[in-house]
Structure 1
Amino acid sequence: MYNFGRKAAVAGLLLSGLAAPALAADIAEPPVVEAPAPMAPVYEEADYGGWYIRGDLGYRKSNMDSPEYVLPFGQVGRFDTHELKGGFSVGGGVGYQVTKYFRTDLTLDYWSKTKFNGGTSGFCGTGLPCTSTDTSSYSALLLLANAYVDIGTWHGITPYVGAGIGGANLKWNSLINTDPDGEFEHEGHSSWRFAYALMAGASYCLTDTTKLDVGYRFSHINGGRMFGYRAGGGPGFDDGINTHEVRAGLRYQFGGRSDCAPPPPVYVPEPEPEPVYTK
């Protein structure tokens, strides 16, 4: 009896040792503690676009080929000398920033009076050869529909190129012709003509919505009548005016997002981290 009881106790100890791993396996795993996902700012491409207004001042220098005029018996004469002085311009417009890189606007500019000086040669009333001096001036309204490509913005500076098409109301004042026979006035002529322009320049961000715009514009106005008939001569015609202009102005955008303003941060969570198990 004693040996049997002793053997039973040993067997019980062995069985309890074997059951211990099984019981440990039934114990619940420790809880998973996940680190909080940090929120990182991710800057997304903003939607650009909006209306803007503009105002510009400029100085221009014009040139043209020698004007022509009709002589008494139908012959065509040309000015021996001619020159156009410089002049100023002032204008404004309204436009729309379609994308970050493309915009359009409609502009109207007034060109101040530009003096014309010329000279002709021929025969005076005495039948002797003589020369004359001729003076006049012109002013214009230039209406253009324009499109621009904004190349990109670096440190607030945005270079651009553009082109425009439209019309100009060119007004010639009276031509005063002076020769040994006296002074004669040829009435000036005004007309609408086809015009186009090519532009290049750069803008600079002054504020989030206001830009300083400095650039160059070449414009061409088609030819037309310059002055009328008087004292055995006329009418006269110019063959078109080419203008080189330096301009500076301000643009104010009051709709959409300007490329002068930084895009707003959009917070996007980072990918979920791997689970972290505590001991």
Structure 2
Amino acid sequence: MKRPLIAFIAALLCGTPALAADLYVEDPAPVVAPGGWYLRGHLGMSNQRLDRMHHELMDDVAVHDFLDDGSFDSAPLAGGGIGYQFNDWLRLDGIVEYRGKADFTALDRYDGDGDGIWDGTNDYDGAKSEWLLMANAYVDIGDWYGVKPYVGAGIGASRNTFSGFRDINVPTVGVAYADEDSTWNFAWALHAGVAYQATERLAIDFGYSYVNLGDAKTDNIRSYDDTVNNAPMNFEDITSHDFKLGMRYALQ
């Protein structure tokens, strides 16, 4: 009788640690989804184009022709903002961006009475800058060892300022100019880029944006002797190819 009792007690004692372990197993650590507020900043260069420049006096001549439709030099830009990462693929942010002065040049010629003889030319120059306010949405496509490509889109408003405008007519020894003027326009953008997660909080971002900035105009154009005061010069449908290097810093 003693041997079966001893065997039973031994079996009970051997099973106790396993039973105790089952009773005191800790819950697994919760999985925390990426998300939260972040700050962002960037530097870059703009490369702008326009669809057309136009002045009402161009409609008054028999023949008008652009030898140079007008072009902008590249110009620096800088911006910053705040955003929110909803999960590992969707984020939104709002930015304020200053886009530095891009020098502008254009050249035309005209035949006032249509007799086949060019009466003069106009050399145009000036500079344009912008303040851009934009809300953006991005989709992060994936994560390959910290490398995260993305696409996005944005809408907002652009305050386009044209300054230093001059119109020099060499054949007629004529000079006209216009004061600075600013206009607000609806703006939109398409984005693409790639970010590298340098640390748990810091991401380095190289991005491209196609931006539509709307229109711009000068103040009224005046002759050098102030004897003529005409309507402004208009610059229609301005777009830009932007290349930017920036950073995002998560706040939590």
Match of 1:104 among 72, 75, 92: 92
SS at match of 1:64: strand
Q: TM-score, normalised by structure 2?
A: 0.81
Q: Does 1:248 align with 2:236?
A: no
SS at match of 1:240: strand
Q: Summarize deviations over 1:221-246 as a string: whole Å, max 9, x none.
A: 11243442324654221111110011
2:65/2:109 contact within 8 Å kept: no
Matches within 5 A, 1:204-223: 204-223=196-215
1:108/1:141 contact within 8 Å kept: yes
1:46 partner amino acid? V
Q: What's the offset of the Cα at 1:166?
A: 0.2
Q: Summarize deviations over 1:206-264 as a string: whole Å, max 9, x none.
A: 11111101111110011243442324654221111110011011111112xxxxxxxxx
Cα distance between partner residues in 2 of 1:72 and 1:211: 51
Q: What percent of counterpart residues are identical?
A: 29
Let me know the Cα RMSD of the aligned residues.
2.9
What residue in structure 1 maps to residue 188 of structure 2? Answer: 196
Question: Is there any run of 5+ residues in structure 1 with no aligned partner, and where?
Answer: 1-22, 256-279
Q: What's the offset of the Cα at 1:60?
A: 1.6
Q: Summarize deviations over 1:96-130 as a string: whole Å, max 9, x none.
A: 11112111111011111001101121269xx9711
Q: Summarize deviations over 1:35-78 as a string: whole Å, max 9, x none.
A: 64597996753232211111100012111123111118756966
Cα distance between partner residues in 2 of 1:202 and 1:73: 47
Q: Which has the higher contact order (CA 8 A, sep 6+)?
A: 1
What residue in structure 1 maps to residue 35 of structure 2? Answer: 49
Cα distance between partner residues in 2 of 1:41 and 1:26: 39
Q: What's the offset of the Cα at 1:132?
A: 2.0
Q: In 2 relative to 1, CA 200–72 (structure 1 residues): closer, same or farther, beyond 3 Å?
A: closer
Matches within 5 A, 1:1-279: 30=8, 31-32=11-12, 33-34=14-15, 36=18, 37=21, 45-71=31-57, 79-81=66-68, 82-122=70-110, 129-179=119-169, 180-231=172-223, 234-255=231-252
Higher strand share: 2
Q: In 2 relative to 1, CA 128–148 (structure 1 residues): closer, same or farther, beyond 3 Å?
A: closer
1:227/1:237 contact within 8 Å kept: no
Cα distance between partner residues in 1 of 2:103 and 2:41: 25
1:102/1:147 contact within 8 Å kept: yes
What residue in structure 2 maps to residue 261 of structure 1? Answer: none
SS at match of 1:239: strand
Q: Greater CA deviation, 27-36 or 45-54?
A: 27-36
Q: In 2 relative to 1, CA 227–62 (structure 1 residues): closer, same or farther, beyond 3 Å?
A: same
Larger Rg: 1
Q: What's the offset of the Cα at 1:83?
A: 1.4
Q: Greater CA deviation, 246-255 or 34-43?
A: 34-43
SS at match of 2:87: coil
* Number of equivalences: 231
